[in-house]
Amino acid sequence: MKVVDDIASLRKLTTEWKFSGSTVGFVPTMGNLHNGHLKLVKRAKAHNSRVVVSIFVNPMQFGANEDLDAYPRTIEEDKAKLIEAGVDAVFLPSVSDMYPGGVEHQTVVEVPDISDILCGASRPGHFRGVATVVSKLFNMVHPHDAFFGEKDFQQLQVIRTMVRDLSMGVTIHGIPTERDVSGLALSSRNGYLTDEQRHTAATIYSEMTSLKARIEAGERNYVALAADLADILTDSGFKNDYVHIVNAQSLKPAKETDAHLVILVAAFLGNTRLIDNLQIHV
């Protein structure tokens, strides 16, 4: 596996690959890799002849009171996992390479509307940071395909919208969430949880699954259904940020006529903010 830490070398590498007829798959990450990331890599490898993974803890998508400094950095373990997974190149840009004029003076990519609701309302500027870094990474890697987890459902929709609106020549693939045996969605932030909190955290998935069954059985009062789930989570010890049932494309409140829905949950256990979701076709 090639380890590349400057933009010019990365461009040279991917240009040579493309010139020789390879397709390039790209998996952007912030490191601390788990099986969810490795599933994205596996899908990229199945779809493309060359795979690039980036590891960059992006300061622009963290709010002032968030966990940028504490965010787990496990670069040597990550590299070993990527070698084992058969990745062709890992890209490790520095903050000064990514933001040469400083984060505060960076030209930004803003995806309107969808960036301002749900996680965007709780974390102002978060999706501006995500859209900006992902568009920069696309400009550096020039992939044919890019792979994102469905766990960050809103992020995936923001990126799809950005790619559509800016006519970017990359195909976005959303990959189903990887879960542990308890149903807890894999996330780098799970490492912040105590054993007891980890046990409680699995309630999100089990209760979303029960709610999905009620919807599939014909219940349609989505506001009341979401309120039921919110109450159960509160009783289990969560501090809810939001619990909603929305249209899976627009992320606006679900209507009775919508055929593709998603339950979206963001909730704190102690200081750890967890997000999860479950799609429903009715």
Write out the catalytic residue numbers: 37
Give Cα separations from 60 to 98, 126, 262 (angstroms).
Answer: 10, 7, 27
Taking each helix axis as running N to C, give the angle between helix 35-47 and helix 75-85, from 0 to 180 degrees, rounded to the nearest 10.
Answer: 40
For the bound state, the minimum distance from the C-beta of residue 201 to ligand PAF, rounded and expressed in Å, comes to 19
Q: 155 or 161: whose CB is closer to ligand PAF?
A: 155
Was 155 annotated as part of a binding site?
yes
SS (H, E, C) 21-48: CCCEEEEEECCCCCHHHHHHHHHHHHHC
**Binding positions for ligand PAF, rule: CB under 6 A:** 28-30, 58, 61, 130, 133-134, 152, 155
C-alpha torsion 242→257→212→150, nearest 10: -60
Q: Do residues 52 and 26 lie in contact, with contact meaning Cβ atoms separated by under 8 Å?
A: yes
For the bound state, the minimum distance from the C-beta of residue 133 to ligand PAF, rounded and expressed in Å, comes to 5
Was 186 annotated as part of a binding site?
yes
Was 110 annotated as part of a binding site?
no
The phi, psi pair for 193, rounded to 5°, reads -85, 145
Was 30 annotated as part of a binding site?
yes
Cα atoms found within 13 Å of the Cα of residue 128, Cβ hemisphere only? 15
Q: 10 or 134: whose CB is closer to ligand PAF?
A: 134
The phi, psi pair for 49, rounded to 5°, reads -80, -20
For the bound state, the minimum distance from the C-beta of residue 160 to ligand PAF, rounded and expressed in Å, comes to 13
Q: 61 or 272: whose CB is closer to ligand PAF?
A: 61
Q: 173 or 214: whose CB is closer to ligand PAF?
A: 173
Look at phi and psi of residue 100 and say left if phi exceeds 0, alpha if psi is from -120 to 50, else beta: alpha
Q: Report strand pairing: 260-269 vs 272-281.
A: antiparallel
For the bound state, the minimum distance from the C-beta of residue 106 to ligand PAF, rounded and expressed in Å, comes to 14
Q: 56 or 238: whose CB is closer to ligand PAF?
A: 56
For the bound state, the minimum distance from the C-beta of residue 151 to ligand PAF, rounded and expressed in Å, comes to 8
Which amino acids are annotated as binding site for beta-alanine, given as ranges? 61
Which amino acids are annotated as binding site for ATP, given as ranges? 30-37, 149-152, 186-189
Which amino acids are annotated as binding site, given as ranges? 30-37, 61, 149-152, 155, 186-189
